[in-house]
Amino acid sequence: MSLQFEKVDVLIIGAGLAAVTVALHLPRALNVLLVSKHELTSSNSDLAQGGIASSYLEPSSVDHERDTLIASKYAAVPDRVYTLVEEGRTAIQEMERFGIRFDRDGSGYAVGREGAHGLNRIFHVGGDETGRHVMATLRRKLPDNVTVMEHVLIDTLTKTGDRVSGATGFNGETRLHVQAGAVVLATGGIGGLIDWTSNCRSVTGDGLVLAEAVGARLTNLSRIQFHPTLLAVDSPHLVTEALRGAGAKLVDASGRHVMEQHPLGSLAPRDAVARTLTDHDGPVYLDTGRVERLGERFPKLMATCVAHGIDVRRVPVRPGLHFHMGGVDVDAFGRTTVAGLYAVGEVADTGVHGQNRLASNSLLECWVFGKRVAAAMVVEETPFTVNETIGFEVSDDLFGRYRQQIGEWLTISPQVGKIASFLENTQQLALTKHVTRQLSEQTLSLQAARLLARAMMRTEDTYEQDRFARTAEGVST
């Protein structure tokens, strides 16, 4: 196997908005390498149909802060939420300076409203294709000191003493060693571990595995969000929440509003809507009859419905895995518990989402905390030590069966028995030092799934202990 060696100041693992924001804001004197696991556009940021939430047009960030905390079930960290929404007030202007052109109407910015927001504060670009347009524009602005490499799989972080000193992986099928003064994890979430997800299939929790292997603390891994409206066809497609903000309603086969019992109706928080749709007996549709200028405002939805032969006036939907609130524990500047290692975006647990993320706060989080990571970056040259990579020796057929098992328990209502069975089965996997790119990629996926499974088992154990204690005290559960 051929070997490639790179020496840089900063290695950024990921290619979505979090990664690109860091790269754009680092000093130009630094030599930066940004690597993407597959094509550069295979990030969740590129898929984002919702926009960017910002109180830019409001007198203050107070209402945005309140909505974020309420959606989080008051489990978000208040000072981190304040950082997000207050620094997010200037995000729109900052992005415009990089060439982003937000949608406008006759009166100014065409801001929309989404679930659990009390006001219209969602900024879009190109209707329901915000992510694609934002990412295309910002990637064109990457400066000359940033080298971009596609089809790079990072499977191990290297550590010298107490500090992360680089990474190893594959550039195509070539073994790659990267020495770096600092490493940024911007690998996204976990949705690609299962089939029914709004995420890119390549987003499989790699950053969690990489961080855990070098001793970084992971937190709140069992906090997983299911989006209520994925197109109910053979392959999932996200149906943006902005459609409900524009007047669409969730109805059953007879036309009854299925969210009529909730005070916010179809614009209730995502977890509440997803739970209602999951428990509902029968199909659910988005009735778009009240949405004005549907084709102009939602071109991606129109094209997707036409391609699948769906009547856009009555769009069939069902919930699917969407976002991971937990992740690598970081401070307010993206520093992990290991020197030289930073995390930003969905892979990080910044504390701003709590138990349920507010719609369109994710791209905002990438921008706000990506800038903070760049501002706090400390680059320190450390001798490079290669850590030997070990992978699971697993056939494609066996990996497929394990992936199917993951889909059975990584649901809105996980069953402890299925989680335990998966952990027991994968515990028996043999290890090999003869690692190929394919084996390495499969190993990362299974290790990420095992991290989630163990976290969910701990959560279920805690819940059962609490339920037992409350029952013993005569408190109804």
Active site residues: 270
What are the contacts of 55-62 at 24+ separation with CB within 8 A? Answer: 55/85, 55/88, 55/89, 55/121, 56/89, 56/90, 56/91, 56/92, 56/93, 56/121, 56/123, 57/108, 57/109, 57/111, 57/121, 58/119, 58/121, 61/85, 61/86, 61/88, 61/89
Residue 316 CA from chain centroid, whole number? 24
Report the relative pairing of strands 218-219 and 284-287 from DSSP bridges: unpaired
3-state helix, strand, coil in the chain (%, to 5): 35, 20, 40
Residue 201: other Cβ atoms inside 10 A: 13
SS3 82: helix
DSSP character at residue 88: G
What single string gives the DSSP state of each residue in 208-252?
HHHHHHTT--EE-TT-EEEEEEEE-SSS--B--THHHHTT-EEEE
SS3 285: strand
- Residue 265 region by backbone torsions, left for phi larger than 0, else alpha for psi between -120 and 50, else beta: left
The phi and psi torsions of 247 (rounded to 5 degrees) equal 125, -5
Q: Strand pairing partners for 323? A: 225
Helix (H) or strand (E) holding 431: strand 431-432
Q: For residue 174, what are its two tokens?
A: 């070539």
Half-sphere exposure of 244 (CA within 13 A, CB side): 30
